[in-house]
A and B are shown apart, each in its own frame.
Chain A
Amino acid sequence: EAEVAQSPRYKITEKSQAVAFWCDPISGHATLYWYRQILGQGPELLVQFQDESVVDDSQLPKDRFSAERLKGVDSTLKIQPAELGDSAMYLCASKQGLNTEAFFGQGTRLTVV
């Protein structure tokens, strides 16, 4: 069964360091999302891609976060420099079309120390 792949599963980094997360969506899914989930809360959107184009990055802290999906397939989310408040689960999801299910990866648990 097709899955959304994310790596790494866990990441510990020191504050002020750079960190990057990778996501490979289900093949053929044009829409890709990055969400951040703080423990005990619902996920919140960071950035949404349609193919290689950014559709919504209104909640992305652009002074330190960047995201790309150069060929409209896999995607990378980067944080530089990391801050203590960035500790959270980072989730990637993809969907094929407007009225289809969204599927999530297993997430990357980031701890900033």
Chain B
Amino acid sequence: KQEVTQIPAALSVPEGENLVLNCSFTDSAIYNLQWFRQDPGKGLTSLLLIQSSQREQTSGRLNASLDKSSGRSTLYIAASQPGDSATYLCAVISSGAQKLVFGQGTRLTINP
């Protein structure tokens, strides 16, 4: 059974810092991994999708990496802004199934 873990559960940093969010998964047989952002009381917004054959994916100030063999992904946020404050969730789709399995999320606060 696939299990996804995100550490830390919460993170608070001053504006302008670069930061890294971590995601680990137990079964390396995955199709892809997707990072989401969730604002309080809202749905999930897709940030990046990384296919199993890719090592990284970039969108603006965001860069996601994937090391399938070690079961790890990181989301790098450059030059953080207060508007980046949200909960960040990673989800994997395992081979043989099409459901997304989520981590618990990292609650990020960027202080002005």
Using a CB–CB cutoff of 8 Å, the interface residues on chain A facing chain B are: 4, 6, 31, 33, 40-45, 48, 50, 55-56, 89, 91, 93, 95, 98-107, 109
Q: Are A99 and B32 within 8 A (Cβ)?
A: yes
B44 & A91 in contact (Cβ 8 Å cutoff): yes
Shortest distance from the beta carbon of B69 to any chain A beta carbon, whole Å: 19
- CB contact under 8 A between A105 and B43, given known A42-B4, A42-B105, A99-B51: yes
Is B61 in the interface zone, CB < 8 Å from A?
Answer: no
A42–B31 CA distance with the chains assembled, in angstroms: 20
Given A42-B102, A44-B102, A48-B99, are A98 and B49 neighbors across the interface (CB < 8 Å)? no
List of A residues within 8 angstroms of B98 by Cβ: 31, 48, 50, 55, 95, 98
Contacts A48-B98, A55-B98 given: A43-B41 contact, CB under 8 Å? Answer: no
* Cβ of B87 to closest chain A Cβ, rounded Å: 9
Instruction: Pick the contact of A102: B4, B41, B97, B100 (CB < 8 A).
Output: B100
Query: A106: which B residues are within 8 A, CB to CB?
Result: 42-43
Q: A41-B104, A50-B98, A105-B43 are in contact. List 8 more A-B contacts (CB 8 A).
A: A33-B100, A42-B102, A98-B31, A100-B49, A101-B49, A103-B46, A104-B36, A104-B46
